[in-house]
Structure 1
Amino acid sequence: MTEAPPLIFSPVRRRSRHARIAGLQRREHAARYVIDDMIAEIAERLAFVRREPGAAAVVGDWTGDLAAYLERSGHAITRFDAATLDEELPWPTGEFDLVVSLGTLDTVNDLPGALVHVRQALAPRGMAIATMVGGASLGKLRRAMQEADGDRPAARMHPLVDPRSAPGLLQRAGWSNPVVDTQRLTVRYSSLDVLVADLRAQGLGQVLASVPPPLTRAACERARAAFMAQADADGKVSETFEIVTLTGGR
């Protein structure tokens, strides 16, 4: 009997987070730089491999920009809503020439199983691309949260995929010709509150199954001070997002 994966992420909170993104994006000057970077990376990758257009499935494309790009390239698009698609189950339809997941697979409890389902949704010789925020991301925010909690730190940020383990995951999932690439996106912040607002607007808040206790007012002030203590000479903090891109086929 196969042992069930540990429940790290809450499926309910995960779906709710994806469902809220459209509303958050309607706010003036809402951040979207992480998904923009992911889409640019995927477009560059597809231009390099020069695949013939075909049936393409896209999940997590809440801006619609990737679907529009693929349509202009001649693909027939099926868009899946990340708020309703359970990526830990087989996809409802299959035989896609291209499957793209934008920033959704880093919060599934059974990542190897989800990667199997992506591969099974492909047609023979189909191609899959999955992007996500990787483990080297948000180091300064993590340090600030640790300072806020002091000697009794709570799990306030969810674990992220280590790209060094990704090749093994793809091999276990049966992806052919697996490739794992990483790139760094650096964004500068004038305060911790701006960073937190940006993360929420982009659907990057934590969705842990075990919800940590709320920060007290004093802890919030410690977090703000610890974050700004890492500022550059101009008073802004340079924070890093590691973007991990997984590519392979059936």
Structure 2
Amino acid sequence: MAGAPILFDRSLLALHRARAERLAIPGSDFLLARTIDDLMDRLSTVNRHFEQAVDIGDLSPTLAAALAAHGQGGTVRRVRPDENEALPLEPGSVDLAVSALSFQWINDLPGLLAQIKRALKPDGLLLATLVGGDTLQELRAVLTEAESDIRGGAAPRVAPFADVRDIGALLQRAGFALPVADTDRFTVRYDSMFHLMRDLRAMGATNALTARDPRPLTRAILARAATLYAERYADADGRVRTTFELIALSGWAPHESQQKPLKPGSAKMRLADALEAARKEREGS
């Protein structure tokens, strides 16, 4: 990951995740549960059996358990990037790589995707989901405004999440065949901004940016942000809205059996000829 900007403090992220395990607030894992259900649905559309599967990430053993129970895989193991974001995978050693909500915490995502592509056997599959750019846009807006109002400036408090178009380009750059990236954007409602922040702590998803302000948010800033949130994003019943966006991506390690686009000039019929033939058929000539 030489030259990649260090956006996230991985040691702090580990502390946040350890705290999340201790909190264990019921229902706060809804985002992970939704992601795993979707990944298993996507896997079900692939008519393949994968002998060697890996769960890449360190959020929870839930994904690996779901893979093992799914029936399309043989051996399932969990791996995580080390402190340098290197994966303990040999080239051409796995058939299936799956990840749920871990990629958004990677400093060098292009490098990680390249490692995964090398680790996949020919015609091996990557399925992953990460958090997209519209996530927590309401919280980002009110925290920035409240801190600016009270301190005269604002530090980054919410991580910069990926754009679906960028993810598609990264898959191509890493050398994946048949790359696909699509998005699931939805709204979750909370009793207040503070209930949202409680869930984020329970997910281990609080601020781990290296550029974070070491000063904590004061009560005055949080109170101002909560007021702005309620004013701008509350429904008639007083509950507030929060946007989440999940980006699902897939790509295959190249193999000669895969469908390939036609080379320029290799078409059997010119477009003009095809259109003329279709016109004659409609006219019965």
Fold shared by both chains (TM-score > 0.5): yes
Out of 125, 129, 146, the position equivalent to 2:127 is 129
Gaps of 5+ in 1: none
- Name the residue aligned to 2:6: 7
Identity, % of aligned pairs? Answer: 36
Q: Deviations over 1:84-129 (max 9, x none)?
A: 6457324344511111111111121111101111112211211011
Distance 1:60 1:49 in 2: 22
- Once the 2 structures are TM-superposed, how far is the Cα of residue 61 of structure 1 from its aligned partner? 6.2
Q: 105-114 vs 62-71, which deviates more?
A: 62-71
Distance 1:223 1:166 in 2: 31
| Match status 1:224 vs 2:226 | yes
- Once the 2 structures are TM-superposed, how far is the Cα of residue 233 of structure 1 from its aligned partner? 0.8
1:87–1:172: structure 2 CA closer, same or farther, 3 Å change rule?
Answer: farther
Is contact 1:30-1:201 (8 Å) kept?
A: no
**Per chain length, whose mean CA-contact separation is higher, i.e. which structure has more relative contact order (CA < 8 Å, sep 6+)?**
1
SS of aligned partner of 1:54: strand
SS of aligned partner of 1:180: strand
- Once the 2 structures are TM-superposed, how far is the Cα of residue 140 of structure 1 from its aligned partner? 1.0
- Name the residue aligned to 2:207: 206
Distance 1:174 1:35 in 2: 28
Q: Deviations over 1:69-94 (max 9, x none)?
A: 221215211112x4x64573243445
Counterpart of 1:168, as a letter, is A
Flag the structure with larger Rg: 2
1:168–1:160: structure 2 CA closer, same or farther, 3 Å change rule?
Answer: same
Out of 111, 114, 131, the position equivalent to 2:112 is 114
Distance 2:99 2:227 in 1: 36
1:210–1:226: structure 2 CA closer, same or farther, 3 Å change rule?
Answer: same
Gaps of 5+ in 2: 254-285
Is contact 2:183-2:246 (8 Å) kept?
A: yes
| Deviation beyond 4 Å, 4+ runs, structure 1 | none
| Match status 1:53 vs 2:56 | no
- Name the residue aligned to 1:99: 97
Is contact 1:190-1:237 (8 Å) kept?
A: yes
- Name the residue aligned to 2:172: 171
Q: 90-99 vs 107-116, which deviates more?
A: 90-99
Taking structure 1 as the reference length, the TM-score comes to 0.90
Counterpart of 1:218, as a letter, is A
- Name the residue aligned to 1:188: 189
